[in-house]
Amino acid sequence: MRIFSVIIILFLAFFQFQSSFGQVDKELKKHQEAIAKSLEKKIGVLSNDTIFYLGKPYCIFIVESKMLGNILRATGKDLNGKDVFWVSSKSGSEVPGAQDNTFFNDITFVESNARALYTPKTITTSLVKDIVNFNLFTDGKPNPLGEQRFVAEYRGPLGYYPGTTTVIINNGSNSSVTVSGNASSMDQVRRNRNAQVFVFGNQIKQDNVMVGTFQKAQAARNGTIEMEYVFFLPNGAALAKAIASGATSHDYSIQILQTGAVHSVNSALGHDDEDLAKFLVQMGIM
């Protein structure tokens, strides 16, 4: 009887070992499939607290809590383990102008303290995919240009961020423009605003001081070629986005991010950088 009991115990132990080994093997296979998917589909895929892209570790992304597929709290880190951004959740009732059933991620970038309010723009996108799509990391390290593009694209609506203010400025035509936004984002550089505006590389200068920067990129969207600009103050605050549709078009639609106002600017051939920058300076936005 005693021998029979020992046999039963050994059998149960062996069965438990086999079950545990099978679970580990299943998890390993799932992890390997995720890495392969990131390479095959050329998208960001999350597995084992790491986002993989093109079959390689892209960044660390630790999801601390989740509900019904939505990320409630998470931390994005570089591949050395340093915090780069923090993610929390917001409901539509907490965001001015949003529907109550809309879900948002409030994202704070640690180094710059810049914030973004993220919600997927299509059913095929997600935060994990857009972390890669906006190049928030390069070679496992934070990419400031990617951060600026992301913040410009997913800026929260007026009244969402604390410390908002309204500033009345003259636009040079005896009328005024109301610019609303985060007070810190309006830290414009003091200079002689009547001086000529110059562009050197991606820097915008007036009165021999840098008053802003810009990033531009060309991409194929909706069956046409688009040229996109994003303009920033020297402190990194995003000010405006400008888009021209068509490979040879110089008719730009400029959206002022603080107000949501949209303006049209026709630039001269070969002078897109300067004409767009001068417009923002003349409007008092930069």
Tell whether 218 is covered by a domain.
yes
Tell whether 134 is covered by a domain.
yes
Please indicate, yes or no, whether residues 49 and 146 belong to a single structural domain of this protein: yes
Tell whether 11 is covered by a domain.
no
Please indicate, yes or no, whether residues 170 and 220 belong to a single structural domain of this protein: yes
Region 33-52 average pLDDT: 94
Give the range of the structural domain holding residue 207, as residue numbers without chain letter. Answer: 164-282
Q: Which is more confident, 93 or 258?
A: 93
Q: Are 75 and 86 in contact (CB under 8 A)?
A: yes
Q: Which of 125, 153, 181 is the last residue of a domain?
A: 153
Q: Which of 96, 129, 153 is the last residue of a domain?
A: 153
Region 34-45 average pLDDT: 94
Identify the pLDDT of residue 2: 57
Checking if the pLDDT of 122 tops 50, the result is: yes
Tell whether 12 is covered by a domain.
no
Enclosing H/E stretch for 283: none
CA distances in angstroms from 197 to 137, 172, 214, 281, listed in the order given: 33, 15, 14, 8
Lowest mean pLDDT among 49-53, 196-200, 224-228, 247-251: 247-251
Q: What angle do CA 75, 144, 128 make, to 5 degrees?
A: 40
Identify the pLDDT of residue 222: 66
Tell whether 25 is covered by a domain.
no
Identify the pLDDT of residue 202: 86
Identify the pLDDT of residue 121: 79
Tell whether 92 is covered by a domain.
yes
CA distance 102 to 80: 34
Task: Give the chain's domain count.
Answer: 2
Tell whether 34 is covered by a domain.
no
CA terminus-to-terminus distance, the chain: 89
Please indicate, yes or no, whether residues 215 and 235 belong to a single structural domain of this protein: yes
Please indicate, yes or no, whether residues 254 and 187 belong to a single structural domain of this protein: yes
Please indicate, yes or no, whether residues 50 and 149 belong to a single structural domain of this protein: yes
CA distance 210 to 286: 11
CA distances in angstroms from 159 to 149, 178, 181, 236, listed in the order given: 21, 14, 8, 20
Tell whether 277 is covered by a domain.
yes
Checking if the pLDDT of 246 tops 80, the result is: no
What 8-state DSSP symbol labels residue 286?
-
CA distance 120 to 102: 10
Checking if the pLDDT of 16 tops 80, the result is: no
Q: Tokens 């051939």 identify what position?
A: 269
Average pLDDT of the chain is 79
Please indicate, yes or no, whether residues 136 and 188 belong to a single structural domain of this protein: no
Please return the burial class of 113, using the count of CB atoms within 10 Å of its CB with bins 0-12, 13-18 and 19+.
exposed
Q: Which is more confident, 42 or 1?
A: 42
146 is written with which tokens? 């990617």
Please indicate, yes or no, whether residues 132 and 88 belong to a single structural domain of this protein: yes
Q: Which of 124, 153, 182 is the last residue of a domain?
A: 153
Checking if the pLDDT of 177 tops 50, the result is: no
Q: Are 119 and 105 in contact (CB under 8 A)?
A: yes
Region 183-188 average pLDDT: 47
Please indicate, yes or no, whether residues 100 and 170 belong to a single structural domain of this protein: no
Q: What angle do CA 183, 188, 191 make, to 5 degrees?
A: 155
Checking if the pLDDT of 53 tops 90, the result is: yes
Of 119, 135, 114, residue with least CA distance to 215: 135
